[in-house]
Amino acid sequence: MLVWLFRGRLFALDEYGVLSPFMQAVTDISISMYAILGFFLLLLLLGMPNGCTATREGLLKAGFTNHAGEAPFLISKRKDSVNPDLTVWEFDPCGIPLGEWEDKRAEIETALNITIAKITWAEGRKIIRLYSAPAESDFPAMLPWDDKYLSPENFVLVLGQSLTGPVTVNLAHIPHILLGGSTGSGKSVLLKLLLMQSLRKGAEVYISDFKGGVDFSEVWHDRCHMCFTEETLLNTLDRLTAELEQRKARLAETGCANLDIYNSATGENLPRLIFACDEAAEVLDKTGRSKEDKELLSKIENRLATIARLGRAFGIHLILATQRPDANIIPGQIKNNLDFRVCGRADNVLSQIILDNTSAAELIPKDARGRFVLSDGTVFQGYLFNEEQL
């Protein structure tokens, strides 16, 4: 505006004689065009988040590009309103799918000098939203359980703490759990943590332990139904499937869709039933077994498959922990219904079997205990539960 006001003096327009009106018109048009262009450039600069160019250059150097060689474009960057320790990055993905973001998580972390807590779609599938913590952020080596962590919601179980907050599972929505991990990864401790919370929420707990119960102290024997032999296990599963049929009939008579609605409508308090197996491979492996044993194991598989398919609505749940959840040990009709999957320290093969990806091998340090990852890539430190607290 100042240049336009003083254009006569600045450009000496009076010295052009008869051409002065023409030169003045040209100058006016030129200044107007530069002003409009400058205005839009200013808007563009104000709209670009701090570090946009550096972020894109970092991703280019890390080789995180689409087929046209374009790196994702940073749209916004802000503190998370729920957890101020986290920073929310929103990117135009430039056609790069979410799966590739997950696969290149390590490269992105290095390029941006951050620790990624979670990657999700936003606004449909138009924006990639990345939640991050500073690069030096890490989990504590041990995270003791405190009763204040017990969820007041029914029937929500707490597993541990991630960078984005508590990690939970609602058995009313996701009824069955598969826990995996190598020896010493902490899966048995996590199993006991889930069973402790189930007991405190009024559930009846059934535990299959073919090590003679040595992994479960006397307090578990007092409060849970223990199975130490295959015959006892089959009898237990027979009772659970019979209870499932009875509940199915009750819900059908009252027109209720699930256990919670039935209890609320009738005033009854039918408890949820939890069946847990600390090492499913010890129970279901048919290798080298006799014909009679194989028939017995087939019956056990059949009962487990029935509960896995139908248990959600009737409040009957499976929690299976194992080191070898492959198709030869856990049949597909059971495994495919174990929707909530958690893996501790593992190699690529075991991680692929449990999570259908190699996240456990890539995201969990080899010396970590009690560190787990979900199938969506969420890493968390499981709470360390002291059995004396039971």
Q: What value does the CA radius of gyration of the chain take, rounded to a whole number of Å?
A: 30
The closest of 79, 56, 164, 84 to 119, measured between CA atoms, is 164
Give the model confidence (pLDDT) of 326-381 as tens digits: 656 778 888 899 999 999 999 888 888 888 888 899 889 888 889 999 988 889 99
> b/e string for 245-260 if b means 16 or more Cβ within 10 A?
eebeebbeeeebeebb
CA distance 155 to 254: 22
Phi and psi at residue 61, in whole multiples of 5°? Answer: -65, -35
**Boundary (domain end) residue, out of 94, 115, 134:** 134
Q: Which domain holds residue 43?
A: 2-47
Q: Is 91 left (phi over 0), alpha (psi -120 to 50) or beta?
A: beta
Q: What is the pLDDT of residue 368?
A: 85
What gap in Å lies between CA 43 and CA 77, rounded to an integer? 17
Beta carbons of 176 and 306 less than 8 angstroms apart: no
CA atoms within 13 A on the CB side of 344: 26
Whether 68 and 212 share a structural domain: no
- With both helix axes pointing from N to C terminus, report the angle between 230-254 and 259-266 in degrees, rounded to the nearest 10: 60
- On whether the CB atoms of residues 383 and 193 are closer than 8 A, the answer is yes
Q: How confident is the model at residue 209 (pLDDT cuts 50, 70, 90)?
A: confident
Tell me, what CATH number does 166's domain have?
A: 3.40.50.300
Same domain, 164 and 257: yes
Which of 134, 164, 194 is the last residue before a domain boundary?
134
User: Are residues 101 and 212 both part of a single domain?
Assistant: no
pLDDT tier for residue 111 given thresholds of 50, 70 and 90: very high
Which amino acid belongs to residue 224? C
Of 364, 360, 362, 284, which is closest to residue 325 (Cα–Cα)?
A: 284
From 83, 106, 134, the end of a domain falls on 134
Residue 98: give its domain's CATH number: 3.30.980.10
Least confident of 8-22, 203-217, 277-291, 355-369: 8-22
pLDDT at residue 150 above 70? yes
Q: Are residues 77 and 43 in the same domain?
A: no
Each residue of 55-80: pLDDT tens digit? 999 999 999 999 999 999 999 999 99
Say yes or no: 196 and 331 in one domain: yes
Residue 145 confidence (pLDDT) above 70: yes
Is the domain of 261 the same as that of 362? yes
**Rounded alpha-carbon distances, angstroms, from residue 141 to 136, 200, 371, 388:** 15, 27, 9, 21
Tokens coding 62 = 């890390």
Q: What is the pLDDT of residues 274-304, one digit of tens each?
A: 999 988 877 888 888 899 999 999 999 999 9
Give the pLDDT band of residue 125 (cuts 50, 70, 90): confident
Report the number of distinct structural domains present in the chain.
Answer: 3
